[in-house]
């Protein structure tokens, strides 16, 4: 069985063991309890939070300009 949905998450002020533990407890409950997850493989993104990056927050200063009106694309509004 595979799932692309989020089955557990937790929010907190700091990254610590309690945060990870709470997310795992939620995921176990969503999947049907401890008995239901005996053969589950857990994958994490092992990523990190992105910090503030002026170039990603202010694209007009990174060589891009607003182009939604000309392109008609509702999803991709920035053009080179």
The pLDDT value given to residue 72: 53
Is the backbone of residue 46 left (phi > 0), alpha (psi -120 to 50) or beta?
A: left
- Find the domain containing 9 and state its range: 1-42
Nearest to 29 by CA among 9, 51, 45, 49: 9
Angle at 18 between CA 22 and CA 41, to 5 degrees: 55
How long is the chain? Answer: 80
Residue 53 pLDDT > 70:
no
* SS3 call for 31: coil
Residue 67 resides in a domain: no
Which residue would you say has higher pLDDT here, 65 or 25?
25
- Residue 43 is encoded by which pair of tokens? 């994958």
Residue 7 resides in a domain: yes
Q: Can you give the pTM of this predicted structure? A: 0.48
The number of folded domains in the chain is 1
Residue 9 resides in a domain: yes
Residue 78 resides in a domain: no
Residue 18 resides in a domain: yes
């Amino acid at each position: 069985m595979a799932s692309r949905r989020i089955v557990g998450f937790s929010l907190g002020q700091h990254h610590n063991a309690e945060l990870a533990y709470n997310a795992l407890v939620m995921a176990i409950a969503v999947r049907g309890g401890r008995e239901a997850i005996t053969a589950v493989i857990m994958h994490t993104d092992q990523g990190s939070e992105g910090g503030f990056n002026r170039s990603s927050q202010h694209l007009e200063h990174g060589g891009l300009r607003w182009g939604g009106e000309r392109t008609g694309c509702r999803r991709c509004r920035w053009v080179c």
